[in-house]
Amino acid sequence: MPLKESPSRKAFLKINLGILIIFSLIMLLPFLHVLAQSFSSSGAIDRGEVIFWPVELTFANYNYVFQDMSIWRAFGVTVFITIVGTIFNLIATATLAYPLSRQEFIGRKFLLFMVLFTMIFSAPLIPTYLLVQKLGMLNSLSALIIPTAISAFNFFVMRSFFLNIPQELIDSSRIDGCGELRILFQIVLPLSKPALATLGIFYAVFHWNTYFNALMYIENRRLYPLQVKLREMIVDDSLVADPTSDVFTTMLSTSPEGIKMATIIVATIPILMVYPFLQRFFIKGFLLGSMKD
Amino acid sequence: MMLKQNLRTMWKFKALYLIALPGIAYFILFKYVPLMGSVIAFQNYNIFHGVTGSSWVGLAHFEKMFSYPEFIRILKNTLLINLYDILFAFTAPIVLALMLNEVRKVVAKRLIQTIVYMPHFLSWVIISGIFIGVLSPSSGLINNFIQSLGYEPIYFLGDDSYIRSIIVGSGIWRDTGWGTIIYLAALAGINPALYEAADVDGANHWQKMWNITLPCLLPTITILFLLQIGNFLDFGFERVYVFLNPLNRVNGEIFDTYIYQVGLLQNQFSYTTAIGIFKSIVGLVLLVGANWLSRRATGNSLY
């Protein structure tokens, strides 16, 4: 029987909801501010008139961004490492997680500990850099893909998923004459689509946002991924005392500020478009990963 | 006998070992080789001579480290930023999850969740771009507001005194909503019978929260807290680096950014590897200590 709610309880619920709405606005308003600036004229931005709505509406900032070939190139590099990298990640993770999820694998405790240990004691930066250098991967996109082949956390998520696949299924496939590789690729992986999708998205977001590794390993400007290019634009243009910025502004009738904001919006949109899917998968994976075996 | 049997099983399932081989090789090559490569902290590492050919100097780099006034400054920054992060960024999701849990309207709850999760998917570069825009002294939202109240605009990112707050604050903005997920799952798992029994006993909402909800959340809180301690000092390069500039470096620089700056850009490989080792060991000691403390105090521990 539902009890009638007391007035103080009702007031509490209202205040609670009110605070949550304010908190949500704090999440949203910065986006609106950036969006409004990206559509505003340089004069309006400089005078500090732009808050949440474009002032002196203009598309010049976006025109500039879309005409800049180096942004397109960086975008292409990022799409490439996201696709190739994610596929590589999934294969590498699955081929290690599958054997280590099987009871027949002697020595799996030791190997599991070996993986776990890297989560506690991670490889130091400089020796890792020297290794990548020695392997001749500097200034190549392989440096953004191969050294991050398996994330230990994702490995454990995938393994706990594989553990739930019934042993009988594996055994009967073996009796039918299936080799282990075929069991993995034709039986286990098709059954693991939810796990593959979840981890695929984990890995894809990681590659899409990759910045530090590219900063370290990539010097060739033609191979810059989007985040590095973006950072360069944000920093270059945010310098107030940049002597070239005046010339830049009058020449293009756009403002560095506006271009910066337009670039941020352009780089954010792909993530926001897949966000509803991301949210669902991520939450699933997050909870799956937090479960114990 | 045992060994022979084991070997026979291994031979029978040799395909499994072959499949696992690339993955094992990956961990050895990219995780364990660099770990062993840390010995360059005890050498004067020279690119041309390599790990085997460089001269040994013992603890000289560690001594140098502690005698540097700069090192003390960076240690202080790292500790302070982490401490603030634990105080504020760790507790924020707990409070938010408790508040969200009180929302009875399903649509409102969904909508709020969707909005607060969102910033988590943006890269730190984009987050820094948004913050630099919003905090800009001439055109930013915050300074618009400050000026409308009749005060002088503040150049937040050009000043040492704000950088730590900006680093911690941007982390809260990005990850608080995301952090609630696991707490909300834990809240959903609490047995409703507990609340019904409390209702019968005449408990009010606050009493129920103190005596049922929080104790039920405690194991989750402890585990996440220990994980956070485990990452103490491993604050993450990107989230700090994207906000640093020459004007705020003094208070904002942490170990990770310093190792990149001095180690990679100035080629001081051995010295910065020593710092890296120091960082890992302090992190490990903190983790073991916190785990021990937590096991004695709450009975929950990571291992």
| Of A166, A150, A57, A55, residue with least CA distance to A103 | A166
Neighbours of A7 (CB within 10 A): 7
What is the predicted pLDDT for the residue at B232? 65
Structure tokens belonging to residue A181: 């590789």
**What is the reported pLDDT for B10?**
83
pLDDT of residue B216 exceeding 80:
yes
Rounded to whole angstroms, how far apart are CA atoms B87 and B85? 5
Residue A218 is predicted with a pLDDT of 95
Nearest CA among B241, B213, B235 for reference residue A122:
B235
Report which DSSP code applies to B53. Answer: H
Q: Is the pLDDT of residue A222 over 70?
A: yes
Q: Looking at residue A286, what is its pLDDT?
A: 67
Of A45, A131, A268, the CB nearest to B33: A131
Chain segment A170-211, per-residue pLDDT in tens: 888 888 888 888 899 998 999 988 889 888 988 998 999 999
Return the higher-pLDDT residue of B193 and B234.
B193
A185 part of contact set with chain B, CB < 8 Å: no
Instruction: Check if A56 contacts B (Cβ < 8 Å).
Output: no
Task: Show contacts of B252-261: CB within 8 Å, 24+ apart.
Answer: B252/B77, B252/B160, B252/B163, B252/B164, B252/B167, B253/B73, B253/B74, B253/B77, B254/B74, B254/B77, B254/B78, B254/B81, B255/B74, B255/B75, B255/B78, B255/B279, B256/A125, B258/B74, B259/A125, B259/A126, B260/A125, B260/A215, B260/A216
The residue of A49, A125, A144, A218 whose CB has the most chain B CBs within 10 angstroms, and thus the best one to mutate to test that interface, is: A125
- B204 CB-near residues (< 8 Å, 6+ apart): none
Reported as a pLDDT band with limits 50, 70 and 90, residue A253 is low
Q: Note whether B141 contacts A33, CB cutoff 8 Å.
A: yes
Output the DSSP codes for A37-106.
HHTS-HHHHHTT--SSS-SS---HHHHHHHH-HHHHHHHHHHHHHHHHHHHHHHHHHHHHHTGGG-TT-T
One-letter-per-residue 3-state SS of B185-211: HHHHCCCHHHHHHHHHCCCCHHHHHHH
Determine which of B27, B224, B256, B277 to mutate to test the interface with A (most A C-beta atoms within 10 Å): B27
A281 min Cα distance to partner chain B (Å): 12
Res. B87 pLDDT band, cuts 50 70 90: very high
Interface residue of B125, B187, B277 to substitute, partner A, most A CBs within 10 Å: B125
Q: Give residue A247's identity as a one-letter amino acid code.
A: V
CB contact under 8 A, A96 and B20: yes
The secondary structure of chain B in percent helix, strand, coil, rounded to multiples of 5, reads 75, 0, 20
| CB-CB under 8 Å, A205 with B276 | no
pLDDT at residue B246, rounded to an integer? 87
Q: Taking CB atoms and an 8 Å cut-off, how many pairs form between chains A and B?
A: 243
pLDDT tens by residue, A224-242: 999 999 998 888 654 343 4
Residue A32's pLDDT is: 92
Asked if A126 and B6 come within 8 Å (Cβ–Cβ), the reply is no
Is pLDDT at A292 greater than 70 in this prediction?
no
The model's pLDDT over B190-208, given as tens digits with 9 standing for 90+, comes to: 898 998 899 898 888 888 8
What tokens appear for A43 in the block? 């004069």
Contacts of A37 in chain B (CB under 8 A): 133, 139
A128: nearest CA in chain B? Answer: B34
Three-class SS state of B51: helix
Cβ within 8 Å, pair A264-B129: yes
Using CA atoms, how far apart are residues A73 and A79, in angstroms rounded to an integer?
10
Check residue A289 and give its pLDDT.
Answer: 57
pLDDT given for residue A1 in this prediction: 42
A76 versus A44: which is more confidently predicted?
A: A76
- In DSSP terms, B44 is beta-bridged to B55
